[in-house]
Structure 1
Amino acid sequence: MLDPAAPQLVVNSRTLYFSWLPADPDAVAALVPPGLRAQPDRQVFMNQYVVEDDSQTSGFGAYSLTYVGVSLSGVDAPGGENAGGWWTHYVTSSRRVREYAVARGAPTSLGRTTIEVRGGTLVAETEIDGVPLIRARCQVGETGSVISSGHHRYLTARDDQLLSSVYPYVAEPVTSFVIESVEFLEPGHSTYALRPANPLTIGFGFYAPRASFAYPGGFTVHPGGRGASAGPVGAPAERVLAQRGGERPAPVHQVPARRARSGLPSGS
């Protein structure tokens, strides 16, 4: 098992990331725990991404993942440009990633995310047990020359503590980019509470064929959880994570020929 206190790096994932206003703002607000506040407009965010090869990660291997959550007030990421977020669902195809994330407080499920682009139309779909839950459809152009970079802050809960982590990222978004639809396909599933309003109102968004980011090694404890106190975690939460065992050194992976041939730093 990977040590959940250790940082992890992911490079060149195919990433669709955007937000919307929900159909049921009260249901969305109810998903946020005491000690945190949803934004006044109850904005929901979602990241669907695919990591195609073991060589793109520091220890996760190839996998796919979708996380969905609620944008928060008062806990912005460094720089103040991105609001903090509370993860409500975290669906990954990898048991290794799931074990790592659940030890960090993420609300994990095993499932699969696919992203297909044909003729400028992108379809991203998330499923659990072979049942499609979420489907997004977009119109996408070519990778642009502008780099998007910064930080996101995500909050999770573990052992009656709210944990806050800051995630750096660098992405190469496409232009043009238009989100056409977002479907939540299973009314009986808990994700349905996050479905978008009609008409669809988008807050922010991008698609990047190459997006890189890191899972941080450290946490802070956010005040508000039961038994929580503010400040850096060298105490109890991170010690719990650090004690959950290490991992043998990751194997060396061969970079796929299609990327090695390009000679470009981004692996175009």
Structure 2
Amino acid sequence: MIEPPPAPGAGGTPGPDAYRGMPPTVWAPPAPQLIRSARMLIVGYQADPEALAEVLPPGLTPHSNNLVQMNMYEVAAEQTSGFGAFSLTYLTVEIEGHDSLAAEGAMPIPGRFFAYYWNSSARVIAYARESAGIPAQYGTRRGTVDDGVLTSVLTVDGADVITARATVTDNPLGTLGGHLNYYAHRQIPRPEGRRAALSELIELPLPFVVDLYEATVDEISFDFPEGHPAARLAPLAPLSTPSVMWADVTFTYSMGRVIRDYLAEG
């Protein structure tokens, strides 16, 4: 059982064991941060509902649609307000009861919980972990388009672990604006182990504007090493992708807010 951290010192000042943030070994810019016109492939695919429930923290339940939203993209330094260049892949689980709205309030969108997140930038990894509680780890995404077919690949530890292929076009489908509600379980251990310094549910309200283009997803393959937990979120066969977005996306990495403190709850 994880024990709560010691109480603050006298006078309301932090005690000697209080959490003081990540060591300043990697510079990360302050929140929020802006990303401009990132060409993304975002695919909502159906996965095993038991696997979805397993990755969620207390208080969150999978949406009845059983969707994982997978996002894959890369950006140049001039597209970011402080991150520099990076590539990214993440897997989020859609959840019940935390919808946001798009299309001037006419379109509800389920909330999304960060289950897995890979990034090529140590700067962005530090920001994502510290500012948002996102379980960021190192990985690179590369994407190529040949004769209208996009091949998008995530590489971790020298191995290609996720590959998505889609038929993509530059045929515009319009522009959409709104908010997305993202969630993360911010868990930071005590340096000596055994206990948590923080265990919080973080909400990240994310404003966005997207220019949409026609696309269809043809294939998604997971090739994680045997026993890797992310393999549990692989698409069910046959592949079902109720939502596909091939788009230029402008959005913020917003400031997170604590909506539940698990340590305070005992």
Larger radius of gyration: 2
Q: Which of residues 186, 202, 206 is equivalent to 2:245?
A: 206
Give the match for residue 228 of structure 2.
189
C-alpha distance in 1, partners of 2:201/2:115? 13
Give the match for residue 240 of structure 1.
none
Structure 1, 69-78 or 85-94: larger mean CA deviation: 69-78
> 2:25 matched to 1:2?
no
Q: Which of residues 129, 137, 140 is equivalent to 2:168?
A: 140
Give the match for residue 121 of structure 1.
149
* Amino acid of the structure 1 residue aligned with 2:264: G
Alignment RMSD, CA only? 1.6
Alignment gaps of 5+ in structure 1: 229-268
Q: Which of residues 51, 73, 82 is equivalent to 2:109?
A: 82
8 Å contact 1:106–1:156 — kept in the other structure?
A: yes
Matches within 5 A, 1:20-31: 20-22=45-47, 24-31=48-55
CA displacement at 1:224 relative to structure 2: 6.9
* Amino acid of the structure 2 residue aligned with 1:85: R
> 2:63 matched to 1:39?
yes
Paired-residue identity, %: 33
CA displacement at 1:3 relative to structure 2: 4.3
Deviations 1:102-147 (A, max 9, x none): 1020011101011111111011111112111111110011141511
Give the match for residue 225 of structure 1.
262
* Amino acid of the structure 2 residue aligned with 1:227: A
TM-score (norm 2): 0.79
Structure 1 residue ranges (4+ consecutive) displaced by more than 6 angstroms after TM superposition: none
C-alpha distance in 2, partners of 1:211/1:46? 15
Structure 1, 70-79 or 112-121: larger mean CA deviation: 70-79
Alignment gaps of 5+ in structure 2: 1-26, 187-197
Task: Work out the number of aligned pairs and report it.
Answer: 222
CA displacement at 1:227 relative to structure 2: 2.2
TM-score (norm 1): 0.78
C-alpha distance in 1, partners of 2:246/2:114? 20
8 Å contact 1:161–1:227 — kept in the other structure?
A: no
> 2:203 matched to 1:164?
yes
The secondary structure found in structure 2 opposite 1:12 is strand
The secondary structure found in structure 2 opposite 1:99 is helix
Structure 2 CA distance for partners of 1:199 and 1:18, relative to 1, 3 Å: same
